[in-house]
Structure 1
Amino acid sequence: MITPRNYSPYTTAVITARPRKETGLKFKPMTIADIPVIKPYLDQAFGRTCDFTVGGMFMWIEYFAYTYCIVNNTLFVKGVTEDDVTRPAFSIPMGKMSLEESVKLLREYCRQEGYDLIFSAVPEVYVAPLKALGAATVDKLEDWSDYLYEAASLASLSGKKLNKKRNHVNRFEAEHPGYRFEPLTADHLPAVKEFFNATHLPLSKPAIADVEREQVMHVLDNLEAYGFEGAVLSTPENGIVAFTLGEVKGDTLYTHIEKMNHEVNGAGETVNKLFAVMMTERHPEVMYINREEDVGDPGLRHAKESYRPVELLGKYNVAF
């Protein structure tokens, strides 16, 4: 005799399987067209790490495979962990729902999908609350801490610790008396792209370097959509020697892009200083500048440490 599926020997009735309970989380690909929708949620995130800014998220859509959905006026972002792009992971939810409610919803979603819930790039302020909700492991992302500086310090380069930086700027100004520093506009874009293509230096991690290069060009091609503010430094003899782009969120300026001609002494230090001056004058609320992570690149690490950060903003993988 063939026994029907879902048949129980303890009853004469066929047992009906319970319908799968849907969480309501239906993720869709993230594109730059979604910036106006997602930015208000990013603005609600706590902390000063760069991952909760337009640049920190949208410049890395492809690398981290970001998708998103909005449920109960709360943004959920799904991607992969920062240290292992084969592991699905989520950003801290942002919006109306409490952390407890959103974690519960994500745990149910992950059970249905067949993998553990992992949050990646978690700011330190969220670690203890997640542990209180039952997180099992917390691992620091050593290469992904953000370098945070006092805005006034980068704008003035005052003090003994920044004496070398100040000397580089003074030398640049002395050697290039006709230099120009001006806000980056659409009129500059063709020359900026040409400069970037001619002077780009790769990072020590090729995969990240390739993505970063593509994303810089993508930003330049879609600058209006990103809404970044930027500046260009040029000299009569060299043309463009540096450019930079960033955004302001709360009391912090996030410098997402900074490129310079390394053969022109002081170009990097000068564009850094003058951009800090320009942005703090435009935005008096800016108290800090986040120059983002070094992704484990020794050259970037040395350069960021040389500006004497006031804090390294740690990030974590937190798994349930």
Structure 2
Amino acid sequence: MVRESVDLDRAHAARVGALIRALAEGTGERCLSEYSFTNLWLFRREHQYRFTDGPWPYISGLTYDGAHHAMPLFSLDKAPASVIDDLLRRHDCLYPVPLAQAQRLDAARYLHSASRDDADYLYPADHFRFYRGELLNKKRNLMKQLLKAHSVVAEPYGPDWHARALAVLDGWMADKGKPAGSADERPCRDALADARALGLEGFGYTVDGEPAGFVLAEPLQPGVYAMRFAKSLHRFKGLAQYMFHHFCTARPEVQWLNFEQDLGLPNFRQTKQSYQPEALLDKCRLRGRD
């Protein structure tokens, strides 16, 4: 019997993490950024995530545009139609569903759609290691100008960087004119407080001795990392470009970076597009045709 749903909690890490790993196995660089217990837990408040265990477990919550969705923690093409239909009766849609999986379902029974706002941005790590080509030349020049004018030091992120990273986050919020609690401030604070236990890896950066930036990323698949948080002070032009460059250079095992979605925000979209993504990964919403 399926149990009632409960608020997603750190106590669910082992169970949900194992389900997600099985679901994402073999997806390589096309693994969706939501396929991570850490990501689900960090954004549990924003999306009101709940976990329902049982033979056909799933996460339920609200999308950024307010749709009540279920995220199946099993392969839809291996489930009876009655299981999918029951989930759809109780939710607006199933989301996120990888396009390849949605296409394997009965098209006469189910329809799928994908919003550009939801799509993950996927980049080869070499884009950031070398900033080759005319389109990325500006990134390379900004980084060179920063390094010529300032002393930039990178340190592996750890507990000794926590207070400094919080100062950077506060500065970033002020630079962006964001009120407290907006943007991704709360998830970012949770991540900074417990990065190692959450499986997040990254660096803190000082410029002329001042804490000025940090990155925290999470491995999704071998060689594939989701860039969960990247913050830098606005006055240090070129630091963001350097942080991405340094992360990929310091970690030769990194082959792909997933920069997650742009949420339809024009400035966010322009910035992510400027790094020349190799692909946009669709996240489908699945509904019944009835």
Distance 1:259 1:59 in 2: 17
How far apart are residue 41 of structure 1 and its match?
A: 1.9
Aligned to 2:167: 194
CA drift of 1:48 comes to 1.8
Match of 2:236 in 1: 264
Confirm or deny: 8 A CA contact 2:77 2:101 kept in the other structure. no
Counterparts of 1:1-320 in structure 2 under 5 Å?
24-44=2-22, 45=24, 46=27, 47-72=30-55, 75-84=57-66, 87-94=67-74, 99-101=77-79, 104-108=82-86, 111=89, 115=90, 118-132=93-107, 134-135=109-110, 137-176=111-150, 178-200=151-173, 210=182, 212-236=184-208, 239-250=210-221, 251-279=223-251, 281=252, 284=253, 286-320=254-288
> How far has the Cα of 1:295 moved from its partner?
0.8
Amino acid across the alignment from 2:51: Y
Aligned length: 282
Deviation at 1:66, TM superposition (A): 1.2
Aligned partner of residue 41 in structure 1, secondary structure: helix
TM-score by length of 2: 0.87
Query: Displacement of 1:119 after TM fit?
Result: 0.5
Letter in 1 for 2:121: Y
1:93·1:99 contact (CA, 8 Å) conserved in 2?
no
Q: C-alpha displacement at 1:262, in angstroms?
A: 1.1
Kept in 2: contact 1:89–1:117 (CA 8 A): yes
1:206-263 residue CA offsets vs partner (Å, 9 max, x unmatched): 89x72511111121122233120011111225x1111010111213110000001111
Q: Relative to structure 1, is the Cα distance of residues 121 and 203 closer, same or farther in structure 2, using a 3 angstrom cutoff?
A: farther
Unpaired segments of 5 or more residues in structure 2? none
Q: 1:121: Cα distance to partner?
A: 2.2
Per-residue CA distance 1:99-124 (angstroms, 9 max, x = gap): 3426532433555xxx4562122221
Larger Rg: 1
The aligned amino acid for 1:88 is H
- 3-state SS, counterpart of residue 234 of structure 2: coil
SS at match of 1:43: helix
Cα distance change, pair 214–27 in 1 and its aligned pair in 2 (3 A): same
Secondary structure of the corresponding residue to residue 225 of structure 1: coil
Q: Which amino acid aligns with 1:270?
A: Y
| Amino acid in the other structure paired with 2:268 | L
| Separation of aligned partners in 1, 2:60 and 2:80 | 13
Whether the 8 Å CA contact 1:252–1:287 is kept in 2: the answer is yes
**Distance in structure 2 (CA, Å) of the matches to 1:210 and 1:79:** 19
Segments of structure 1 that go 5 or more residues without pairing to the other structure are 1-22
Letter in 2 for 1:222: D
Cα contact 1:80–1:120 (8 A) shared by 2: no
Deviation at residue 98 of structure 1 after TM alignment: 6.0
| TM-superposed deviation, 1:133 | 7.6
In 1, the alpha carbon distance for the partners of 2:84 and 2:134 equals 50
Deviations 1:39-95 (A, max 9, x none): 2222222442201123432221112211113324x54111224432xx42111323x
Assess, with a 3 A threshold, how the Cα gap between structure 1 residues 203 and 70 changes in structure 2: closer, same or farther.
farther
1:131-178: per-residue Cα shift (whole Å, max 9, x none)?
44821x3232221111100012212212222111111111111111x3
Q: Calculate percent identity across the aligned residue pairs.
A: 20
Kindly provide the amino acid, as one letter, of the partner of residue 212 in structure 1: D
Q: TM-score, normalised by structure 1?
A: 0.79
Instruction: Give runs of ≥4 in structure 1 deviating > 4 Å.
Output: 201-207
Partners in 2 of 1:42 and 1:110 — Cα distance? 20
